[in-house]
Amino acid sequence: MASSNSPFADPHDAPIVAEAKKEVIEAEYSYTERDVILYNLGIGATATQLEWTYEGHDEFSALPTFGVIPQFLASSSLSFDWLPNFNPAKLLHGEQYLSIKAPIPTSAEFVNSARVLEVLDKGKAAAVTTIIETRDKHSGKLIFENQSTVFIRGSGGFGGKRVGNDRGHPDAISEEKTQSSQAALYRLSGDTNPLHILPEFAAIGGFDKPILHGLCSMGIAGKHVLQAFGVFQDIKVRFTGVVYPGETLVTEMWKEGSKVIFITKVKERDTVVLASAGATLLEEVTKAKL
């Protein structure tokens, strides 16, 4: 943990926000081919898709949204205790942006650096965006950039900024039923928030039962984009609803030049759970050396 002047300092920030932006969290993350397979399985890869589930396959690779995994320890270590009335059970994942800066190795040692990017006072809630850079431990090469926005109910009113700085039939539709054990499997990739496994904790957050990780839904939708249109270099989603393990996800996609715009719905409840979502397709695909 370190403290420094923030490159994201804003004269309109409340004092508690200005102070929070100075904190830098660094965390190492190493992984092997086994972790890649576990993640791929966690977002629905099947035993017949050997390029994602068998390390000996010539095309073995991590699904692109694996990029949200190495950063998790660093981002989750940032403290939000400075917010008024902070309660972790009132925290909801709002948006996620992932930019893939280099080919994804199937095993590596990374160093993640996390800090607060922006904090908005929504009155009855706070919206906190963090930025995390993931670099190769040995070369220093930037591999991923993640930006994650969480909404924390009951933590507004601190006097900060309220606003941030500045389609027809789908071209493709993918449908995939999640498993009742999907959240229990996905959490093994690192997101161990009890909201996704303990009924009593989910009840505190106002849910009937544990919900699926938003990043798991994002991974499934990202897999749909990859299968329909090819490799992408970045992806962003807004989490607009919850998914319960066992429900069916339907991703509707529109291709606009090098962009794929998409939404993801829960079929059983006809509810949009990923919106304002898009991915930028990679024009030239360079594979990582195994």
Q: Taking a C-beta distance cutoff of 8 angstroms, is the pair 236, 244 a contact?
A: no
Q: Which candidate in 42, 160, 214, 219 is catalytic?
A: 214
Looking at residue 8, its amino acid is F
Q: Is residue 91 part of a domain?
A: yes
Write down the pLDDT at residue 288.
Answer: 44
Q: What is the mean pLDDT of residues 36-63?
A: 98
| Whether residue 136 lies in the annotated active site | no
Q: Residues 172-210, buried b or exposed e (16+ Cβ, 10 A)?
A: bebebebeeebbebbbebbbebbbbeeeebbeebeeeeb
Mean pLDDT, the chain, rounded, equals 91
User: If pLDDT is split at 50, 70 and 90, which confidence band does 8 have?
Assistant: confident
What whole-number distance in Å separates Cα of residue 255 and Cα of residue 237? 16
Q: Is residue 266 part of a domain?
A: yes
Copy the structure tokens of residue 268. 């059983």
Write down the pLDDT at residue 287.
Answer: 45
Q: Which candidate in 211, 220, 235, 263 is catalytic?
A: 211
Q: Which candidate in 35, 121, 191, 234 is catalytic?
A: 191
Q: Is residue 288 part of a domain?
A: no
| Whether residue 191 lies in the annotated active site | yes
| Whether residue 211 lies in the annotated active site | yes
Residue 168 has pLDDT above 80, yes or no: no
What whole-number distance in Å separates Cα of residue 44 and Cα of residue 40? 7
Residue 160 has pLDDT above 70, yes or no: no
Q: Is residue 289 part of a domain?
A: no
Q: Which candidate in 69, 121, 156, 196 is catalytic?
A: 196
**CATH number for position 47:** 3.10.129.10
Domain span holding position 67: 2-281
| Whether residue 222 lies in the annotated active site | no
Number of H helices, E strands in the chain: 7, 11
